[in-house]
Amino acid sequence: MPEQNGSDQSRVDVLESPASAARAERPGARRIVISSHPGRPRVVIIGGGFGGLNAARLMRRAPVDVVVVDRYNHHVFQPLLYQVATAGLSPGEIASPIRWILRRQRNVQVLLAEAQAVDRARRVVSLDIGELSYDYLIVASGAAHAYFGHDEWAQTAPGLKTLDDALVIRRRLLMAFERAEVTTDAETRRRLLTFVIVGGGPTGVEMAGAIAELARHTLAKDFRAINPRETRIILLEGAPSVLTAFSPPLRAHAEKSLARLGVELRKSTLVTGVTCGAVQIGEERIEAGTVVWAAGVAASPLGRTLGAPLDRAGRVQVEPDLSVPGSPEVFVIGDLAKLEQDGKPLPGVAQVAIQGGRHAAQSIVRLIERQPTQEFRYKDLGNMATIGRAAAIAEIGGRRFWGWLAWLVWLFVHIMLLTGFRNRVIVLVQWAWAYFTYQRGIRLITGQGARSG
């Protein structure tokens, strides 16, 4: 049983035997056998995103065996997914195999599997390939797209969370221009060259700016029957302003940059329907060949299996040290955790997941050493977004930047955060080439049913 030390901000718990000890197996369940060091506790990390990887890395010298579970074999740098979707970068330039990232960490094993449920009583994670026992668990399964009760919109308006999502959007964007080139009907052409982005957060704003540059510059001379510069790009935002996490002056700069690119911005606008070829806004119907969803996220359904208190969005209400109430050995981080600091919710950004992953790993080490865990305190390192070529906004350390300087800061930060020296060099070269030539070299229509879009 946990022993409370009397402090509101720290706690020490005495835990039971390692996962290598026998557990009561569920009838019919296949048990996954993982090699481990005798007497070492096993830490299972669900999710190979920012939070999960940083947790695993921090435990490289800890006396534990770490198992990282992810349904994909690669880690994706999600802030640059929109560049894959708009033909600026290729998938391999923003993603790396998880096994390669952790190859030098001898106490880590990687499983390609999907977590389906967590049994806290038995300390077992149910995967699609069997059951995996744990002594400590970090749940970093992230979030999915949120369609606010209209999941049927997903097929028509894809979101942007994975490489597959990015490639689907890239295929639809490029196919829209190809179809417009061969049609003789003016209304059909107008619809095909109308692109709607739903959501005015960083993803939506960056996507709108990138599509505008693709149409106005990259594709401007590629077609004969159409003029890509006549493309209509509409950005819909339900709030009174885009990029609400930024200060009002920077929001104004972002809106001016969007206007210069020819993006139509509609604020305080709620989508009431999405069908094949159209978006409904109240009584107004916007005919559009391509719709991209960037309006919100929903917590991973894995959180519901924890049997812990959830908020209305399905996020787990964690303790101050990020552990699950009643289970000091289970930690939830990133988009799946309901996190507040000084009475305000923390943003769903990579830095929150990164710092949360490190904190959870440190807490596990402290528990093993029978030391009290500490309250998680997020350190805001800044916020930034790019709107296009030499146009960005940034808030770092209380200082505001915009335009060329903010764009350079954005470039530097994103290059440094990429995984692997090779990816950093290639992305830097790609960006330099695009800057001087306005060209995007990854304009390939690929995949199953490529011509169908």
Dihedral Cα 46, 149, 276, 202, nearest 10 deg = -60
Residue 206 bears catalytic tag: yes
Reading the block at residue 196, the tokens are 């709607």
The DSSP element (H or E) to which 354 belongs, if any, is helix 350-368
CA distance 98 to 230: 42
The DSSP element (H or E) to which 82 belongs, if any, is helix 81-85
What DSSP assignment string belongs to 278-320?
EEEETTEEEE-SEEEE-S-EEE-GGGGGGT--B-TTS-EE--T
Please, is 190 exposed, middle or buried when counting C-beta atoms within 10 Å of its C-beta (0-12, 13-18, 19+)?
middle
Reading the block at residue 202, the tokens are 């960083």
Q: Evaluate whether 134 touches 123 at the Cβ level (below 8 Å).
A: yes
206, 255, 329, 395: the catalytic one is 206
CA distance 394 to 386: 9
CA distance 19 to 36: 10
Cβ-proximal residues to 16 (8 Å cutoff; 6+ apart), any chain: none
Strand-strand pairing, 108-112 and 65-70: parallel
Classified as helix, coil or strand, 44 is strand
Active-site residue list: 206
